[in-house]
Amino acid sequence: VAAQRSTGRPRRATIIDVARLSGVSKSTVSNVVHGAAPVHPDTRAQVLRAIQELGYRPNALARDLKRQRSAMVGVVVGDLSNPFYAELTKLIEQHTASAGYATILCAMNGPTDAERDKIALLLEQQVAGILTMFFGGDAAALDEVTATGVPIVGVSVDDARFDCVVADDALGARLAVRHLAELGHTRIAYVPSHATEASTNAARLEGWKQALRRSRLRRGPIVTLADEPGEDRLVPLAQAMQDVQAPTAYFAGNDITALQVIDRLESAGIAVPRDASVVGFDDIGLSSLGRLSLTTLRQPVADIAALGVSRLLKRVDGDRGAGGRAKQTRLQPELIVRATTASAPG
Amino acid sequence: VAAQRSTGRPRRATIIDVARLSGVSKSTVSNVVHGAAPVHPDTRAQVLRAIQELGYRPNALARDLKRQRSAMVGVVVGDLSNPFYAELTKLIEQHTASAGYATILCAMNGPTDAERDKIALLLEQQVAGILTMFFGGDAAALDEVTATGVPIVGVSVDDARFDCVVADDALGARLAVRHLAELGHTRIAYVPSHATEASTNAARLEGWKQALRRSRLRRGPIVTLADEPGEDRLVPLAQAMQDVQAPTAYFAGNDITALQVIDRLESAGIAVPRDASVVGFDDIGLSSLGRLSLTTLRQPVADIAALGVSRLLKRVDGDRGAGGRAKQTRLQPELIVRATTASAPG
DNA sequence: GTGAAAGCGCTAACAT
DNA sequence: ATGTTAGCGCTTTCAC
């Protein structure tokens, strides 16, 4: 049986094979591969030839095991279906890859996924650090990470317990509400998005409340798009338009949600922005399409990714940061006014 | 200096630490962790307690090195910004994760990225297999993979040299053209997408040609959206509408491209579908938004992901497949008629 | 400039 | 049921 197997997968050449073929020791091979110590040109050539001939490829598992540190980082993402997170993931991978790290992708698909187990898996893989775009709030999961001393930084996640690089969500929300208020809207609803990371959603909600207060506006309703499939709380609310209570503007937790809000509204005969205004958050690529023209808050996604990765790698390299305290960085979002917002009707 | 460092990162508990604390041998610990051999309940309890106390977590690097096979798969993606690939990636990760494999994400960002190097990195990490949503055609890269005996399967990639699970792109293209022809269109252009994987694009182009032939239609122009930023070949072409040569329908390489085509057309005053029809490919989530209502070909993305992963894992487990020949599976796409296609004008 | 040797943490075959 | 042992492939002192 063993013999049969061996037909299938030829044993990969090891450093020993190379050493034997080129008539030197393991250490010398290692030295020509990594250039850690000087090697005689002739020897080097000899070794290089052997490497070529055998198709030798160093085994990262063995290297990392020996070195006691791996060249892998874990990247945790909540929902890749949301183009914002997909884009962020893409940018993160670019940065980690060019820094020589492999990226282990870890998706938190819905609340069914045990955050702790997923994180544990990452830790078992001996990742050098973790970049997380999602934090469900499982304190135990976080404790495990800190206990092992693996650095973790939140990217588009805001939590006081670890380093974070995020857009200033509260500010963004205030910008959105102010824009709406300036257009004469007085009944502004908030539509949270369950797809967005919790802390992010919370910050946007908070900013919405703040701005409402500052503009001396009564707090509009908080209306979820759909807790259960088929359910619709938005349209009934909006259709009470004659009613003085009905919102004339909706601030959505993110662009996807905003787009869905528009969809619901318009299929119920409520035109955007004529009858109601809608503001999103993120500025995903498609939002700028003429047919959508979503007014939204653009996140500095490139900066978030770059800063997040560089901060993590600094930590990985032993930088304990300022006094070991978690550092939050909030980058400014930018209000992009397009065509889903207009003066309040009536 | 070393002492300072040691403050930062506490050495992680190993199987030996657990063995010592619980007063048994390594093997026994290993046995309680993996249940490979029976262990006396009392001993097991003892060991479990030690594991708990030390916060022991097995080191996957060491396990994989010893076992000579890793629990990681490489996932290669061309462009995560395209929601279709993001969705596919998400589904793939779900499947590999639930099969107990970690996912190493490897993005091929543009032609600057050396395919071969990226693949080499994956191979160095000792991935058990590779799922690729992108193949640039670098034969050397592919050779390296097959030389090491690491199974590879294409997901939404069509190449005769390895197992592939794809939508039947040519069929989809034919469906699109037939639909357009039935609506009376006779001048149907093809708009390739550079964001889409090459083989996929080629198959769709081929299907378009075939269908045109079958419908006895003259082959319309192939017009790229933009080779260089700021360039626009589409609008000048379309604006020659009085001209009998101007296309009245556009079949795009994917939804993103289709959406951009619509955008260009409409901002040039050409209404879709009144003046021109547009068909996409993929059926990304946003395409169904009322404002977009893109007529497109839905890919069986869930099936593609599931089949792709299961085929790879079978190969990983030693299944050499039918006679060792590469097996292509083409799943049917479904034409989804929405509101970007209508009868030919005039 | 090069080699010998000691492990990194783990599994699995074998012994007890 | 449990312990002993021999590595997996590599890096890294430390000799020479």
State which residues of chain A have pLDDT below 70: 1-10, 227-230, 240-244, 322
Q: CA-CA distances (angstroms) from residue B236 to A151, B232, B246, B247, B344?
A: 54, 7, 10, 11, 19
Question: Could you tell me how far CA A93 lies from the centroid of its own chain?
Answer: 11
Is the CB of B121 less than 8 angstroms away from the CB of A102? yes
What's the average pLDDT block by block, 10 residues per block, for chain B (346 residues)? 42 93 94 90 94 96 96 97 98 97 94 87 97 93 93 96 96 97 96 83 91 90 76 74 78 96 94 97 98 98 98 91 85 98 92
A263 close to B (CB below 8 A): yes
Name the closest nucleotide to B29, judged by C1' and CA. D2
In this predicted structure, what is the pLDDT of residue B160? 94
Sign of the four-CA dihedral A247, A252, A255, A256: negative
Tokens representing A171? 């500010």
pLDDT reported for residue A5: 37
Nucleotide nearest to B25 (CA to C1'): D3
DSSP three-state, residue A76 = strand
What integer pLDDT is reported at residue A7 of this predicted model? 44
23-62 on A, CB < 7 Å from strand C: 23-28, 31, 37-40, 42-44, 62
Please choose, from the candidates B50, B12, B59, B53, the residue with its C-alpha nearest in 3D space to the C-alpha of residue B28. Answer: B50
Q: By the CB < 8 Å criterion, does A70 face chain B?
A: yes
**pTM, full prediction:** 0.94
The count of residues in chain B is: 346
- Residue A170 DSSP SS3: helix
Contact status, residue A270 vs residue A206, Cβ threshold 8 Å: no
Burial B117-148 (b: 16+ CB within 10 A, else e): ebbbbbbbbbbbbbbbbbbbeeeebbebbeeb
Q: Which two tokens stand for residue B75?
A: 């996932």
Q: Which chain B residue shows the shortest CA-CA distance from A5?
A: B318
pLDDT at A229: 65
What span, in angstroms and rounded, lies between the C-alpha atoms of A90 and A94?
6
Angle subtended at Cα B172 by Cα B167 and Cα B176, rounded to the nearest 5 degrees: 160
Query: CB of B323 within 8 Å of any CB in chain A?
Result: no
Minimal C-alpha gap between A291 and chain B (Å): 6
The answer to whether A321 CB sits below 7 Å from nucleic acid chain C is: no
Residue B5 has a pLDDT of: 36
Chain A neighbors of B70, CB-CB under 8 A = 61
Residue A139 CB neighbours (<10 A): 10
Q: C-alpha distances in angstroms, B247 versus A253, B186, B216, B235, B257?
A: 41, 8, 16, 11, 17
Give the DSSP H or E segment for A329. Answer: strand A328-331
Per-residue pLDDT at B6: 36
Cβ-defined contacts of B223-227 (< 8 Å, 24+): B223/B189, B223/B190, B223/B191, B224/B191, B224/B192, B224/B194, B225/B191, B225/B193, B225/B257, B225/B260, B225/B261, B225/B264
Q: In a 10 Å sphere around its CB, with 0-12 CB exposed, 13-18 middle and 19+ buried, how is residue B254 labelled?
A: buried
Residue type, B94: Q
Total CB pairs under 8 A between chain A and B: 160
Q: What is the pLDDT of residue B1?
A: 25
Taking alpha carbons only, the member of B261, B192, B242, B251 closest to residue B217 is B251
The DSSP element (H or E) to which A189 belongs, if any, is: strand A188-191
Give B-chain residues touching A286 at CB under 8 angstroms: 259, 286
CA gap A264, A231 in Å, rounded: 12
A59 touches chain B (CB under 8 A): yes
Whether the CB-CB separation of B29 and B22 falls below 8 Å is answered with yes
